[in-house]
Structure 1
């Protein structure tokens, strides 16, 4: 009698364990879970690529500065040329004031809202 109870309990425990494992696996295979997993892996890959790219850029910048210093020394250039200030162009023109132009000492504006 004790043997049957033992094996019955063992079977119930194995069934509960197997059901739990199957349910976990099914939850992992839902579309939402797969999308979240893919998104997390893509973010991790993006971070790894960014870290490598930043490291590469820093290495390039250091080597470029070192080589530039070697060239300046070889050419006998002591002073570094000043670069002109960067120009900034506005992407959108200022439309508060209408543009005007002069023809034969008469000023005309491109304001379409003026009274005619």
Structure 2
């Protein structure tokens, strides 16, 4: 008799446990519950994207500061070096132009060619 009572109780407990588990799953799968879960996931993803964007912005500001220091862009305007001028002399004036009488020309911010094969 005790054996039958034990198995009856074990079966009833297993049935209650299974019924409870199934009812919880069914409640999770209702449209309202699914919508709430989706909204929670969307909010969580939005927070993660916002945190990522803030990290990227902080990195950009830090890198711009590093580049500004390396290039001297953050220096006070009085501390900047003077402008450079290149002197170009007109050694062969044009025959038809009388305004080129060996005048010296100054070019602001000259660019130089670094081609090693040029004029060699």
Gaps of 5+ in 2: 79-120
Cα RMSD between the aligned structures?
1.6
Offset, 1:79: 2.1
Q: For each residue in 1:12-40, what CA deviation from the matched residue of structure 2 results, as whole angstroms up to 9, or x when unmatched?
A: 00000000000000000000000000110
Matches within 5 A, 1:10-21: 10-21=10-21
Q: CA deviation at 1:43?
A: 0.7
Q: Which residue of 2 aligns with 1:7?
A: 7
- Give the whole-Å Cα distance in 1 for the aligned partners of 2:77 and 2:11: 86
Q: How many residues align?
A: 77
Kept in 2: contact 1:28–1:34 (CA 8 A): yes
Per the normalisation by structure 1, the TM-score is: 0.62
- Following superposition, which runs of at least 4 residues in structure 1 exceed 4 angstroms of deviation? none
Give ranges in structure 1 of 5+ residues lacking alignment. 81-116
1:58 aligns with 2:58: yes
Instruction: Report which structure shows greater RCO (CA 8 Å, sep ≥6).
Output: 2
Bigger-Rg structure (1/2):
2
